[in-house]
Amino acid sequence: MKEKIDALLKEVERFEAKTAEELEAFRLRMLSKKGAIPSLFQDFRHVEPEARKEIGRLLNELKQTATLKLQVLKSGLEDQASGQETLDSKPDMTMPAVFNPIGSRHPLSVVRNKINTIFEKIGFVISEGPEIEDDWHNFSALNFPEEHPARDMQDTFFVEKQPDIALRTHTSSVQVRVMENQQPPIRTISPGRVFRNEAISARAHCIFHQVEGLYIDEGVSFADMKQILLYFAREMFGEQTRIRLRPSFFPFTEPSAEMDVSCNICGGPGCPICKYSGWIEVLGCGMVDPNVLDNCGIDSKKYTGYAFGMGIERITMNIYQVKDLRMFFENDLRFLNQFTSAL
């Protein structure tokens, strides 16, 4: 009997019906009152007792398979009759293609990734750190005096009831952690989100993004820094880009400078983007103050280094000519979809 069951099972599995008449003939032959499968159930009475368990299981599986095959074929024939496409029917090549929408990248992510790539090409590695920092890593190790206005509540978000804990105001805190845990040579960039207690407007926000760089080794000079920043500017804004360095002040660098790039919109004569000056400020930089090196356990008599920091929003606004900083944080798809094919 087992051989009969196996033979019928193979026949059921191979069967295909192109018409309703063929399907009905299959049903009558297999599942009708006098069909092959009910006949096997009649013969089941004569099976030896020790074989009944296995034969009964095989008979039930055969009946279930045949019943399911009948339902599937019947459904397929009904779909064909109503004009619906089935899995076995040929596709209609005249139908228009349906394209899945392509996701977009946020413009800040596009620019941040490009900045990272530029510096990674010349050996800088990416370092990351916590967004909630203590006073030492955010201020004291970076040579901020106790009376510095950046420590005031007007500039910093302090954690309630913990005056020494705050949201980081720059990613320089990551550089402190790197210097504390690694001896020169150090060549790193620190991209990330920072927070300052400022009024939100078209040109300012309480949340923004920075990329800060640090290079420390023996014999590092201001000229080395200038050459690296010129390389960055031309990779970022184009081969014709010029830079200029203006004296400035930062607690953690000495000497310090602000770097401007030539306006890539007007090329020099002046336009609203560069405020008719022909130059756009993009970053601050300088030689790492010896006090900072000593605070982080690096011998300032042996090593020198430079640091720089730039706001991603400002560069993004210049590249894409975005006039309102708040647009980066509103998640308006009409704005974000413009960057679908960006890097």
pLDDT in tens, 202-220: 878 889 999 999 999 999 9
What CATH class is the domain 107-339? alpha beta
Domain edges within the chain: 2-81, 107-339
pLDDT reading at 341 higher than 80: no
pLDDT reading at 6 higher than 60: yes
Task: Report the pLDDT value the prediction gives residue 343, as an integer from 0 to 100.
Answer: 46
Q: Are 209 and 189 in contact (CB under 8 A)?
A: no
Q: Are 228 and 122 in contact (CB under 8 A)?
A: yes
Q: pLDDT tens across 264-291, in order?
A: 767 667 776 677 788 888 999 999 999 9
Task: Report the pLDDT value the prediction gives residue 153, as an integer from 0 to 100.
Answer: 59
> Vertex 175, ends 173 and 177: CA angle to 5°?
75
